[in-house]
Amino acid sequence: MITKRSSKGRRITDQTGAVLRLKRELTLERAKREVLQGVSRIPLEAQSLDRLYDHYLGVILKLTRTKAGSILLLDEVTKDLIFVASKGKGSEGLVGKHLPLGEGIAGWVIRTGHSYFTVDAEHDRMIRKEFGPEIGVAPQNRLCVPLKIARRVLGVVEVLNKKDRRPFQREDLYLLDALAVQVATVIENTRLFKKYDSKVRKLKTLKEISRLLNSTLDEKEVKRRAMEAATRLMEAEVGSLLLIDDATHELYFEVELGKRGERVKEIRLKIGEGIAGWVAKTGEPVIVADAQKDPRFNRKADEKSSFVTRNMICVPIKIKGKIIGVLQAINKLGTQPFSKWDLEEFQSLADQVAIALENAHLYKEMKETFLGTAEALGDAIEAKDVYTAGHTRRVLSYSTMMGKHLGLRAAELESLKLTALLHDIGKIGVDDHILRKPGKLNESEKKKMEEHTVIGPRIVENIKQMHHVIPGIRHHHEKYNGTGQPHGLKGDEIPLIARIIAVADCFDAMTTDRPYRKGLPIQTALEELRKLSGTQFDGKVVEAFLRAYRANELNETLMARPSSSTA
């Protein structure tokens, strides 16, 4: 400004300066008010950070009277700059894009912490020209200021080209600097609030997930819940669990993605192969911000499932220090990348999964040991009663088929199987000369033989885990019309499991040879079952047996009878 060297002139200049200062202060006050008012209008929900950035950029463009601009923030993990808001013709596609920190004006502003101002962007070598055409704006004038909290730079805000085509003035820089201070403060506070809020919510989710994981001992269910939990906790598109096959030293997928999942299930990765293989080999958790650019990334799963992996978080699952698999979450939802916080929470989840998997595995082993013991007991009876070789296994098989046709639930079927295995356990207490008598039993011998339904429950009653099989053992010689023994129970008074075993037991007795008689042909035995339906046997159980027979489900067991039996 040109001023005359007169007292009147100085006064005019002073007055003009005061007006300008006042005007600048007013503009700044207005700017602060707009920024703060905007914050109160935006609800603090998980997704609202994006709206917040968008709002700030809108205010900045309005107050600086510019056509286009962006807010870029530093990514804690990749150390890249990410476009979190962008406005101007065709600029929407920029949001979410990464910009390597070393590049362009933004990189310089981040490194130095100083503002950048140019009125001739066309000839400025520091400007990355590619963003001009991308956003449909040829930058002539450009302002870029750091978003700082104390000396820490969070990111930058940059604006391009004033609406009135005039170059930027120093005034614009002051205004943008002042706005940036306000915006940085609110961004930092909001981010911190959100981080803690999200942390609290995620800890709650993690607690709920741990309870869910540990409320089942079924291995398959633990795996399914682990994958669901990975997706939910990480707010990702998909979660997957890969376990190590000790025999082949490979990782295999446990996934549930419908048809896609079935195809992925066929894939096996060597330890060290792919990102999951790398985690399994090193035991290190990892965040991959851009999977397609990571040299460790293996495309097999994407190709098989027509899925596109953008980013990934992957942690090891360890039991007592040994890596047994890895847990992955793929493609974070929203615009925020996976963070260091996510990594901590995901590792906690993987530790919970490890405990749940180990418990389920131990339970499975215990169950197998228990069933093995029951089978050994069943074999002990067979060793004593040589004339009924294979009887127990056949009764087990017939009973299981009937149970399925009768719609028994999984737990009921398990109970039926164990009861079938042990139904004649009481024969251990019957004298060998009766069990092995080659001829028909007399009345007193019959009475002794019948006692096996009373002796059996006494043998297993001391084993708590076997209490549920006692009713089936005790009543498998009851008859539906009430003429059986030991208690003469009638109809539905007889436990269903005992009614099922009664049919299997009798059919096997009819169709196998005894020393004093040949076994009946199968068709004759089936006819016999039909005849006794409703008197000796429960009609619906006989019907279930006939259905299983017609469906050829009994063939294998029928073939397994001793070779001398009648076909």
Least Å distance between CB 489 and Fe ion?
A: 15
- Using the minimum distance from each CB to Fe ion, give the nearer residue, 190 or 485: 485
In whole angstroms, give the CA distance from residue 81 to residue 185.
18
Nearer to Fe ion by C-beta: 142 or 477? 477
Q: Mask 411-450, x = binds Fe ion (CB under 5 A)?
A: -------------x--------------------------
Contacts (CB under 5 A) with Fe ion, residues 503-532: 505
Q: Shortest approach of Fe ion to residue 392 CB, angstroms?
A: 7
Q: Which is nearer to Fe ion, 424 or 538 (CB)?
A: 424
* Cβ-based nearer residue to Fe ion, 52 or 501: 501
In angstroms, the CA 67 to CA 88 distance is 6
Looking at residue 308, the DSSP 8-state letter turns out to be -
CB of 311 or CB of 415, closer to Fe ion: 415
Give, as ranges, the residues between 466 and 505 that touch Fe ion (CB under 5 A).
505
Q: How far is the CB of 484 from Fe ion (least distance, A)?
A: 11
* CA distance from start to end of the chain: 118
Minimum distance from residue 561 beta carbon to Fe ion (Å): 14
Nearest to 361 by CA among 209, 221, 207: 221
Which residue's CB is nearer to Fe ion, number 330 or number 506?
506
Provide, rounded to whole angstroms, the least separation between the CB of residue 507 and Fe ion. Answer: 11
Label the pairing between strands 236-245 and 152-162. unpaired
Say if residues 315 and 234 touch (Cβ distance below 8 Å): no
**Cβ contact 258:252 at 8 Å:** no
Cβ at position 423, least distance to Fe ion in Å: 5
What would the two tokens of residue 407 be?
């719609």
Interface mask toward Fe ion for 66-105; x: CB under 5 A: ----------------------------------------
- 403-407 long-range contacts (CB < 8 A, ≥24 apart) are 403/500, 404/548, 405/544, 405/545, 405/547, 405/548, 406/496, 406/500, 406/540, 406/541, 406/544
Number of residues that bind Fe ion (CB under 5 A): 2
Query: Exposure string (b/e) for 281-317, b if CB count within 10 Å is 16 or more?
Result: eeeebbbbbebeebeebbeebbebbebebebbbbbbb
Q: Which is nearer to Fe ion, 235 or 424 (CB)?
A: 424
Q: Phi and psi of 121, rounded to 5°? A: -60, -30
CB of 223 to Fe ion, least distance (A): 39
Helix (H) or strand (E) holding 495: none
Q: Which residues bind Fe ion (CB under 5 A)?
A: 424, 505
